[in-house]
């Protein structure tokens, strides 16, 4: 069993479950006894989220190096994978749904809306305006951050999308070279196999 979570209570509960029902001690990504097949080259003392490490491992295994992995989760993360597969940093922006919820919570007159690709950029009602602002705002955010990462990296890079809302953005504006729905699961299997072979 292998676990990746940024929530300590979830990790604890899954470790108890693994011990009680499966009689095994799980690997926990981010702990010292769970080795990774990639290097992590960030500032000393920096803790990198296990989800980001797992996606890096999967991305390198599936696509090689020089990648930007854009994960549309609670946060929208941009993980940079070097040519040798090392995780070398990235960016974190608020997640799409988090942004919509913040609009709803902070402005009493704005309703809760679900994200979708609007028919037009110019909304003619409140819901359409919010959907347009968030959708096209995130298209612009993704494009700009990826362009700046590519410029800093100085080599051609592939951009891979994953996460719950990735399919929605995959269909617009040619932002990504590929979409991988099971990227995180693939990374967990690669890490588990790597530790099994050591």
Tell me the CATH number for domain 64-181.
Answer: 3.30.420.40
- Residue 134, CA atoms < 13 Å, CB-side half-sphere: 26
Distances (CA, A) of 83 to 59, 73, 87, 172: 11, 25, 10, 27
Q: What is the mean pLDDT of residues 59-80?
A: 97
Contact predicate 66/155, CB 8 Å: yes
pLDDT value at position 171?
Answer: 77
Is 51 designated active site? yes
Q: What is the pLDDT of residues 159-179, one digit of tens each?
A: 999 999 999 898 776 899 999
**C-alpha span between 116 and 96 (Å, rounded):** 11
Domain residue spans of the chain: 64-181
- Active-site option among 51, 61, 66, 82: 51
Helices (H), 64-125: 96-106
Q: What is the pLDDT of residues 113-149, one digit of tens each?
A: 888 888 899 999 999 998 999 999 999 999 999 999 9
């Amino acid at each position: 069993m292998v676990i990746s979570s940024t929530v300590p209570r979830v990790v604890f509960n899954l470790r108890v479950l693994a011990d009680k029902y499966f009689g095994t001690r799980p690997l926990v990504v981010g702990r010292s006894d769970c080795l990774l097949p990639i290097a992590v080259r960030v500032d000393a003392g920096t803790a990198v989220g296990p989800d980001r490490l797992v996606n890096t491992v999967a991305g390198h295994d599936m696509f090689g190096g020089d990648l930007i992995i854009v994960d549309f989760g609670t946060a929208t993360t941009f993980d940079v994978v070097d040519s040798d597969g090392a995780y070398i940093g990235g960016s974190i922006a608020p997640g799409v749904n988090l942004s919509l919820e913040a609009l709803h919570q902070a402005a009493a007159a704005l309703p809760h809306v679900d994200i979708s690709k609007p028919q037009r950029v110019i909304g003619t009602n409140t819901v359409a305006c919010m959907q347009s602002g968030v959708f096209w705002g995130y298209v612009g955010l993704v494009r700009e951050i990826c362009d700046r990462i590519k410029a800093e990296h100085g080599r051609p890079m592939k951009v891979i999308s994953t996460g719950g809302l990735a399919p929605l953005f995959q269909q617009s504006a040619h932002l990504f070279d590929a979409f991988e729905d099971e990227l995180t699961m693939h990374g967990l299997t690669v890490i588990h196999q790597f530790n099994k072979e050591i």
